[in-house]
């Protein structure tokens, strides 16, 4: 098996070979294997110093010097199938379900051909192309019901995984694209010129009522996020036990599709592995360092954590928030995603990422703002413009009227009665805490 993978980047409507990652240790070590990552000379010369969409990631500015890593680069780990997608791909490759890191490299070379964002592994795209069959579209109702014809079609061709294995998470998911004929196609099978809209479709899993409640609330929570002033993309639509999520890493343009760079907080902070619990303070320091408008992005990040605490979204791990980078130098947080009442999860998920020394599940937001502003002033030898503390305080206080409204009228906004009853006192508590921010 080759120990080098070619990285392709989608720019100006074309997939381009822009660099490679080579293993400096045994492939059997999986993502833990040391590696080298580097850009092709032509790309490096043309875009030297760029950290925007021209780069693999914000920690890998374009240049002629290779990056040595004690493990795989985290942006590459983010392309590695996990959860349901990993299980399905292991079956398709006839590998044992118990395979752990030893299967990672092979899974990458087969499963990273159509990931979220604008990067892919060329070898995986080639493997995916060999699996393609006759183009076939489906009605939305067929997808939502997972009717026999739809399920058999996918199972018979192995396309469930082939098209969506790069979408991480425990729920079964598909990447589907609506075409010019109104039908939905597996994303990787449809020519870009025919694409009209792109979706992640998340299906209900198992018979757990609590998991079903989480799925039912995700579209409701996105509306609550919009009311709270958070950055959202578009309404989600639940049909039966299928949640249609419009994608914000794809944009239909004349003649094709623009793929937008997306980078997880794990990649932004260089944290390898899975189930990572980040320090919010570290994230904010990094946002100040690399974002085009640090003030706006730090405020957005703070507001999202307020919403997570108030509405019981405890699953705030390093891959549930991401950056978007464009080709004009812009770097900002993506719109919100994976926002749901995860306190309902039957496995009892704990709040993953926390504020240093100030987070027992209900932070003191004045102390949070003080720490964030202090951390932004100086980072080692680097100096950054100070954050406007008053504006951060005002931005958090502005959430209070909506929090009170949700506490009083959450059921009218779509929340189920038991969820609203469980969260109401906590929402009121957060509203009072924000009113006290000075």
Confidence of residue 296 (pLDDT cuts 50, 70, 90): very high
Is 404 part of any domain? yes
CATH number at residue 306: 1.10.1070
| Cβ contacts of 422-430, under 8 Å, gap ≥ 24 | 422/312, 422/343, 423/310, 423/311, 423/312, 423/341, 426/309, 426/310, 426/312, 426/362, 427/310, 427/311, 427/403, 428/403, 428/404, 429/362, 430/306, 430/309, 430/310, 430/362, 430/403
pLDDT in tens, 256-289: 999 999 999 999 999 998 877 899 999 999 999 9
pLDDT at 120: 97
pLDDT in tens, 375-390: 887 655 466 778 999 9
pLDDT at 1: 67
Is 77 part of any domain? no
pLDDT at 98: 87
Domain holding 371, by residue range, is: 262-435
Q: Which residue has the higher pLDDT, 87 or 414?
A: 414
pLDDT at 376: 84
State the alpha helices, DSSP H only, in 57-158: 74-77, 83-92, 104-111, 122-130, 140-145, 148-157
Is 219 part of any domain? no
Could you give the number of structural domains in the chain? 1
Is 96 part of any domain? no
Is 198 part of any domain? no
pLDDT at 167: 65
Q: Which residue has the higher pLDDT, 152 or 177?
A: 177
């Amino acid at each position: 098996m080759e120990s080098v993978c070619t990285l392709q980047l989608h720019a100006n409507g074309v997939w381009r070979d822009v660099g490679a990652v080579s293993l400096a240790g045994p492939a059997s070590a999986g993502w833990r294997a040391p590696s080298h990552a580097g850009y092709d000379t032509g790309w490096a010369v043309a875009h030297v110093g760029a950290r925007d969409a021209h780069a693999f990631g914000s920690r890998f500015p374009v240049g002629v010097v290779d990056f040595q890593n004690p493990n795989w680069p985290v942006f590459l780990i983010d392309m590695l199938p996990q959860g349901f997608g990993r299980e399905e791909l292991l079956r398709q490759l006839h590998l044992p379900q118990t395979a752990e890191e030893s299967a990672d490299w092979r899974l990458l070379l087969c499963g990273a051909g159509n990931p979220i964002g604008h990067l892919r592994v060329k070898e995986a795209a080639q493997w995916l192309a060999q699996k393609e069959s006759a183009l076939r579209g489906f009605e939305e109702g067929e997808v939502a019901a997972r009717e026999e014809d739809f399920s058999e079609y996918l199972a018979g061709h192995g396309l469930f995984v082939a098209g969506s294995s790069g979408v991480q998470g425990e729920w079964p998911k598909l990447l589907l694209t609506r075409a010019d004929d109104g039908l939905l196609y597996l994303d990787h099978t449809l020519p870009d010129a025919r694409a009209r809209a792109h979706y992640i479709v998340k299906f209900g899993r198992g018979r757990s009522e609590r998991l079903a409640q989480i799925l039912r609330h995700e579209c409701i929570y996105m509306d609550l996020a919009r009311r709270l002033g958070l950055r959202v993309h578009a309404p989600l639509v639940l049909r039966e036990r299928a949640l249609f999520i419009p994608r914000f890493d794809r944009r239909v343009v004349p003649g094709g599709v623009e793929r937008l760079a997306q980078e997880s907080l794990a990649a932004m902070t260089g944290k390898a592995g899975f189930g990572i619990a980040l320090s919010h303070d570290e994230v904010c320091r990094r946002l100040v360092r690399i974002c085009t408008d640090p003030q706006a992005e730090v405020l957005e990040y703070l507001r999202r954590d307020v919403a997570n605490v108030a509405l019981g979204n405890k699953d705030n791990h390093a891959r549930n928030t991401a950056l978007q980078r464009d080709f004009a130098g812009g770097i900002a947080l993506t719109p919100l995603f994976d926002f749901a009442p995860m306190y309902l999860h039957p496995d009892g998920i704990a709040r993953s990422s926390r504020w240093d020394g100030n987070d027992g599940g209900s932070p003191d937001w004045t102390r949070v703002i003080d720490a964030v502003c202090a951390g932004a002033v100086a980072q080692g030898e680097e100096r950054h413009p100070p954050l406007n503390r008053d504006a951060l305080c005002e931005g958090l206080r502005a959430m209070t009227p909506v929090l009170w409204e949700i506490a009083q009228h959450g059921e009218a906004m779509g929340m189920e009665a038991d969820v609203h009853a469980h969260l109401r006192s906590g929402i009121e508590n957060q509203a009072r805490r924000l009113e006290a921010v000075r």
